[in-house]
Chain A
Amino acid sequence: MTQPVSPPRDDTPKLSPQAEPGSWRTVAARADVRTLSLLGVLAALILIGGITKPEEFLDTRNLQLVLTQASVIGVVTVGMTFVITSGGIDLSVGAIVALASVWATTVATQEYGFAGVLFTAVLVGVGCGLVNGMLIAYGAMVPFIATLAMLASARGLALQITDGKTQIVSIEGILELGERDSYVLGVPPLVMVFAVVTIIGWLVLNRTTFGRRTVAVGGNAEAARLAGIDVRRQRLYLYLLSGLCCGIAAFLLIVLSGSGQNTNGNLYELDAIAAAIIGGTLLSGGRGTITGSVLGVLIFTTITNIFALNNLQSDVQQIAKGAIIVAAVLVQRRTASTT
């Protein structure tokens, strides 16, 4: 015997409660809130620095120093932001910076002058990125493992090249770039490179098909594949891009330190990941913000500077960094859950 238990329903189509027009505005506003809150943190830090060490902190030279220090890790973070947005991770950035910086400063390379050093640094970075990308995209390796392997090998190779010695750079043109005489309107050339990389990175992520595909692959790789996107090729390009950024950062580091060392770029991977995450890039992929990443880098560099000026040891710095990462992620989760 059949007993129909549910009465037929009225056939009015139901709309989900959030589907009112205009709700996208709150999303846009929330993105702005995130950027604003990062700017707020940065402003608060500047205030703290200005109050605790008014003369030293607000000195032009100190601000130039902070920005210069932010440049190296900042360039790495731009590349990292792309990789994380695509749902990947690159643990090898610090090791690639080290390898590129020592390979580009060997006696043999230095014979080729400025261009030789720059070219080698970039080429080594891209080469490592190519290996990462091939392993991940076509070798179906998990990014964590592939780049962990690269981390170990590149560090080892860097040590082998230098034998643990610091390789002094003797090329005038490179050393001059780090000197005050080459500042343009008070802006160090390194900072200009950082600014250019940031602007290009922002444009590529937000205004090009490459950026769109990156977000799509990170948001839903299966959907991207079924929509006709070549997911593997995109992944290859992303690790190439990260390697390229590492090569550029290695060159900046060579200019900054006037040398190449196998210990360069130590723990850059953690700094870059942390900066991207507190900036608002989703570790699970599908959403990335270059603006946020750069603000994250500036926040971390400013903290380091303030602590150094106040003669606080690096252990305290590390603890503060950890606390900031936790706080930032908790705040983000709260904003996300109110969606």
Chain B
Amino acid sequence: MRLRSTSRYGATRLSTVSLAALCVVALSACGARVDAGSDTSASAESCVDTSGDTVKIGFLNSLSGTMAISEQTVHDSLELAAQEINADGGVLGKELEIVSEDGQSEPTVFAEKAGKLITSDCVAAVFGGWTSASRKAMLPVFEAQDSLLFYPVQYEGLESSPNIFYTGATTNQQIVPALDYLVEQGTKSLFLVGSDYVFPRTANKIINAYAEAHDIEIVGEEYAPLGHTDFSTIVNKVKSADADAVFNTLNGDSNVAFFKEYKNVGMSADDMPVVSVSIAEEEVGGIGIENVEGQLTAWNYYQTVDSPANTAFVEAFKAEYGEDRPTSDPMEAAYTSLYLWKAMVEKAESFAVEDVTAAADGVTFDAPEGEVVVNGDNHHIAKTALIGKIGADGLIHTEWSSEEPIEPDPYLEGYDWADGLS
């Protein structure tokens, strides 16, 4: 029945092909005319409307896909900050109108939705992103459209876009202090375990350079694909390497499997402590307190930070989302980012991107982690490094802290041993 006689269609053949050819010819003509236009490359005109009594801002987090479990917490925290700001009279007297988009844990979707928020919704600034891939995907969009992104997660450094403000830690505010701490504790050898993507690879490059300059032996370096859950081989290697400590840059689910296996082979924080840079309060519950108790983490904020601003933040968050919800570093950095944008806008007395960035330098906010200051040159913020120990209560308690907030140095220019890294 599917077989048809060819003759019936014979006459159509020529006309179809010629129609297609016609289209191509017509379009190549279009393309040629464009040539002249491309010289006068139109720089993006902002369509942000601030004439009414509201101003739009965008939240772009992964609400579906593998990153949703982490990014939802950041989204909640941003919502909380927006509610508080609106209850307090808005920004420059204008109420914030939130446009939320789902990044779907995919870089391509992040790029698309960023474009939508900027050019279709005309938001004054966008808050969000988590993975390095999502940030790298959004960066050219924000630069081409000359719009603003506030990125709230610790990352691998080596970047400073004029259109992004980084409110999470760069490497010299998290990884380097963690290494300083280990040296202080007399660590002579390290085993590196990480997921196979940009952040762990870059972090380990930095750790290797640091180790070489500080007489630390790197006894092993292992990578597992993202989402990998069979860690028996890697943990056995760690065990037999017998290093003084393990530096863990695993991300997501892999941590659950890694720490369970670590406990299975009979190792604990006393034998060989694991310093993690991607495990926050939110993840501790998922891994199981009994599997990670006593292990170390490096961040710039813990729920247990003792300050009036943090007490207020934690109380407000729990009141909004439930007593069982912990607060974590990326959530705090996201919360802080919205307030920092508010402070910049109010200092500039304008929502325009160039005015806001011009006013950014030196803007401060009494954040839950302590007072933070924006560095106008590299768009990062000064942050205090905190090494914490995971307690039996599932919270992380500060074990060591840098004496004062550390100035951001994304390219590690102030460190001799880091020459040639960037």
B and A form one assembly: no
Q: Which residues of B contact A (CB under 8 A)?
A: none
Residues of A whose CB lies within 8 Å of any CB of B are: none
